[in-house]
A and B are shown apart, each in its own frame.
Chain A
Amino acid sequence: MPKDKLLTLKQREARLAYWFVIPTFIIVFGLVIYPALFNIWISFHEVTLGNLGESGAPFVGLNNYIRVAKDFLFRDALRATIIYSFSGSIFSIALGLSASLLLNRKFKGRGLVRAIFLFSYIAPVVSVAFIWKWLLNPVNGVVSWAMMSSNIWSKPIAMLSQRGWAMLIVILFQGWRYFPFAMLMILAQLQAIPDELYEAADIDGAGVIKKFFYVTLPELRYVLGTLFLLRLMWTFNKFDDIYLLTSGSAGTKVLPVLTYEFSFGMNHFGLGSATSMFLFMILGVFMIFYIKYALDW
């Protein structure tokens, strides 16, 4: 008798669990997993505005991929994506590291300062993108005025529409906006470093710099390694920031922006899917190598 009841309890528990989990599962499956697979399908078919609703889209094999790879914008987009992602990630982590070191000791008002450091991260991307555009306005912006009056520039430069400058700006923006994420993660780790390690270094006569390189950094290896992977992954796929700042002009047309243009600018969804698959595969390959290597950290 008791044995039956126990079984039923277990079953009941399992059934309850399913009820709890099913809605989430449906939403996530329906709106993430299924579309991801659907995307692969689309990339092998010619899907345009005309046949968006129908399943009768013609199969074109690798044609979309070939067209994308041969497209005059693809090479630049690939290069831009790689430069942007790597530089932006490194820069935001470097800034995050500096910020976390600054905040590591207690001081009056630290809580407030730390909160302010997060402003650039939590603010909506649209508003910060526009304020940056306004500040960088070549005719009326503060940056232009500062550069001109200190004679660094002889005539105003429209940074967001000039090759080279535009990439620099979006990388700076990336660092400015996302360093708080790195900062938070590093800070958490920093505060877990046992004091004994520093004391031991003191006894050995190590100065501040030595302590940093021989105690702090090694302890942070794992966090930094993970951070780089995460930031790289997210920056690789980033659309909003560049689209809002430059719309992809002046050499900043990264692959996500190109995907958007193919799909919603030219209405060639097959090409857009293929581009996003390129993005996915390139990132995937990198990540596999990185994790394999990083597992040795």
Chain B
Amino acid sequence: MKKSIILLLILMMVFTISIFSFAQKTVVEFWTTDNEKSRVDVQEELAQKFMQLNPEIEVKVIPVDEPDIPTKLATAKAAGRLPDVGRFGLEYVAGFALDELLDAKAATTAIADMGYTSFFKGALDLVLSPVDGTWAAVPIDGWVQGIWYRKDLFEEKGLDAPTSWDKIMGAAKAFYEPSKAMYGIVIGTDPGQVYTQQVFEPFALSNGVTAFDKDGNIVMNTPQMVETLDYYTKLAAYGPPGATYWREARQYYIVGQAAMMFYSPYIMDDIAGLVEDYKVTVTDLAKNTGFAPIIEGPSGIKASYGQLVTLGIFKGANTDAAIKWVQYLLGPGYVDILYMSPGGKVPVRKGVVSEWLKHKVFSLYDPKVVADVAGGMDLIQRWGFMDGKIVPLVSDVYGRKLIPIVVEKILTGDISPEQGAAWLQEQTEALQ
């Protein structure tokens, strides 16, 4: 009995002392979706450097899979342990802001301190908060998607760059020779992959299909949507067999079996042959690759699709420390962040662009391609983001994979494009 009392007292002492010592440091818990090991290493190095400059702050880098973010946040919230800073894609921002998880004031302070004119306007517009009219999160990087195509083969056949519906379809048809294992284009047809929606959306946008209107009404069942579904599924016929998504897009292109495919600039490393595992069998593929980020629809509307990744500061965080960390990542640490995947991370701050362009991968490409990649930020359009207003339901549309599912249904002949559009309308309404 006596022994256990003494033990208990000692434990209490140790406990209180440790509380004290931890109370000295403010902890910033940082959830990052850049969770590949090599990237985590870079971020931890940055954390180390930051901590040296700010000894009273401790930064914990926690790698998380992007699709897990909403659930992980929910459990953290339930346990009362939200992180301080999180890195996640644009589609989550509106939802989180609505759920009152994000501290828009902190984000706005961070941006204002850095000077909002130092950011590309297009990027800032995408993170406007639906609640306050301030910025809900801090943009950090992004990319614009486009068609990567074999410039050399196009020249041989005397074809124009694939920048419009007609040109894309025409080129796809011209290159389609399955007996020689050559396919015109690889687009998204896998019903279980977000990629399918990502490739479909710019076609839709270029035909005036915005899925939601300014007031948040669902406008899926339109003649333009039917037209787009029809065009898209016809285009899929010139691609490889089976359900395709980004894996096939990459694979077929680097072995020279596809003339066109959709991708973000993430692919620049692979095409340039910089990635060990993916043997590029086409000589000088990078130099012979063109990039077409803008699609022109039948009525002349131009659209392009992309992604913006943001840093969100959560409510209840150690706000000042969190703001400092965010500013560090977008300041002294920014180039290191971007270099983790320079093609896939287009800067959102104007001043960094020239430094970013110095990375080796860009030298291997045609300068016009590089310019298109760099300038992509201002071109991005997305369903559910219009005129500074955000429709949170769009993330449910993504989550339920309505577009990939309807594309597959049309491809298997189960339904017609008209029925597909009606189905989309019905299902989106059911999501409310």
User: Which of A71, A72, A158 interacts with B242 by CB under 8 Å?
Assistant: A158
CB B256 to nearest CB in A, in angstroms, measures 14
Question: Are A49 and B70 CB-contacts (below 8 A) given A158-B243, A161-B242?
Answer: yes
Among B72-80, B102-110, B135-143, B148-156, which stretch is in contact with chain A?
B72-80
Question: Are A266 and B400 CB-contacts (below 8 A) given A52-B75, A248-B192, A249-B191?
Answer: yes
CB-CB contacts below 8 Å: A33-52 with B: 49-50, 52
Interface residues on A, range: 20 to 34
**Docked complex Cα distance between A94 and B79 (Å):** 48
**Docked complex Cα distance between A156 and B241 (Å):** 8
**Docked complex Cα distance between A247 and B191 (Å):** 10
Q: Closest chain B residue to A267 by CB distance?
A: B70
Residue A130 at the chain B interface, CB threshold 8 Å: no
**Docked complex Cα distance between A163 and B411 (Å):** 12
A162 near B77: Cβ-Cβ < 8 Å = no
CB B425 to nearest CB in A, in angstroms, measures 13
Residues on A with beta carbons closer than 8 Å to the beta carbon of B399: 265-267
B190 near A249: Cβ-Cβ < 8 Å = yes
A264 near B71: Cβ-Cβ < 8 Å = yes
CB A12 to nearest CB in B, in angstroms, measures 22
B192 near A53: Cβ-Cβ < 8 Å = no
A-B contact count (CB 8 A): 55
CB B406 to nearest CB in A, in angstroms, measures 10
A49 near B242: Cβ-Cβ < 8 Å = no
User: Which of B73, B192, B427 interacts with A249 by CB under 8 Å?
Assistant: B192
Residue B299 at the chain A interface, CB threshold 8 Å: no
**Docked complex Cα distance between A15 and B427 (Å):** 59
Residue A138 at the chain B interface, CB threshold 8 Å: yes
B242 near A52: Cβ-Cβ < 8 Å = no
CB-CB contacts below 8 Å: B341-397 with A: 396
Residue B277 at the chain A interface, CB threshold 8 Å: no
B78 near A53: Cβ-Cβ < 8 Å = yes
B99 near A49: Cβ-Cβ < 8 Å = yes
Q: Closest chain A residue to B248 by CB distance?
A: A139
Main secondary structure of the interface of A (DSSP, over half): loop
Residue interface bits B395-432, CB-to-A below 8 A is 1, else 0: 01001100000000000100000000001000100100
CB A148 to nearest CB in B, in angstroms, measures 13
Residue A110 at the chain B interface, CB threshold 8 Å: no
Residue A210 at the chain B interface, CB threshold 8 Å: no
**Docked complex Cα distance between A71 and B426 (Å):** 11
Interface residues on B, range: 20 to 34
User: Which of B71, B99, B412 interacts with A50 by CB under 8 Å?
Assistant: B99
**Docked complex Cα distance between A71 and B78 (Å):** 29
A49 near B412: Cβ-Cβ < 8 Å = no
User: Which of A53, A72, A250, A264 interacts with B79 by CB under 8 Å?
Assistant: A53
Question: Are A72 and B77 CB-contacts (below 8 A) given A162-B242, A266-B400?
Answer: no
CB-CB contacts below 8 Å: B55-103 with A: 67, 70-71, 73-75, 77-80, 99
**Docked complex Cα distance between A50 and B78 (Å):** 9
CB A92 to nearest CB in B, in angstroms, measures 26
**Docked complex Cα distance between A30 and B242 (Å):** 46
B73 near A138: Cβ-Cβ < 8 Å = no
A158 near B400: Cβ-Cβ < 8 Å = no
A49 near B73: Cβ-Cβ < 8 Å = yes
Residue A75 at the chain B interface, CB threshold 8 Å: no
CB A76 to nearest CB in B, in angstroms, measures 11
User: Which of B78, B243, B423 interacts with A161 by CB under 8 Å?
Assistant: B243
Residue A155 at the chain B interface, CB threshold 8 Å: yes
A49, A162, A264: most-surrounded residue (chain B CB, <10 A):
A49
Residues on B with beta carbons closer than 8 Å to the beta carbon of A249: 190-192, 243
B71 near A158: Cβ-Cβ < 8 Å = no
Question: Are A266 and B78 CB-contacts (below 8 A) given A72-B427, A158-B242, A158-B243?
Answer: no
CB A17 to nearest CB in B, in angstroms, measures 26
Residues on A with beta carbons closer than 8 Å to the beta carbon of B99: 49-50
**Docked complex Cα distance between A162 and B74 (Å):** 35
CB A160 to nearest CB in B, in angstroms, measures 9
Question: Are A49 and B71 CB-contacts (below 8 A) given A156-B241, A247-B192?
Answer: yes
Residues on A with beta carbons closer than 8 Å to the beta carbon of B80: 53
**Docked complex Cα distance between A158 and B189 (Å):** 13
B242 near A53: Cβ-Cβ < 8 Å = no
**Docked complex Cα distance between A163 and B409 (Å):** 11
**Docked complex Cα distance between A72 and B423 (Å):** 10
Residues on A with beta carbons closer than 8 Å to the beta carbon of B74: 49-50, 52, 267
Since A49-B71, A156-B241, A161-B242 are in contact, a sample of 5 more A-B pairs with Cβ atoms closer than 8 Å, ordered by chain A residue number, is: A49-B74, A138-B242, A249-B192, A249-B243, A265-B399
Q: List 28 A-B contacts (CB under 8 A).
A: A49-B70, A49-B71, A49-B73, A49-B74, A49-B77, A50-B99, A52-B77, A67-B430, A72-B423, A155-B178, A155-B241, A156-B241, A157-B242, A158-B241, A158-B242, A161-B190, A161-B242, A161-B243, A163-B412, A247-B192, A248-B192, A249-B191, A249-B192, A249-B243, A250-B243, A265-B67, A265-B400, A266-B399
Which 10 A-B pairs give the minimum distances between C-beta atoms? A53-B78, A158-B242, A49-B74, A161-B243, A249-B192, A52-B78, A52-B74, A266-B399, A50-B99, A247-B192
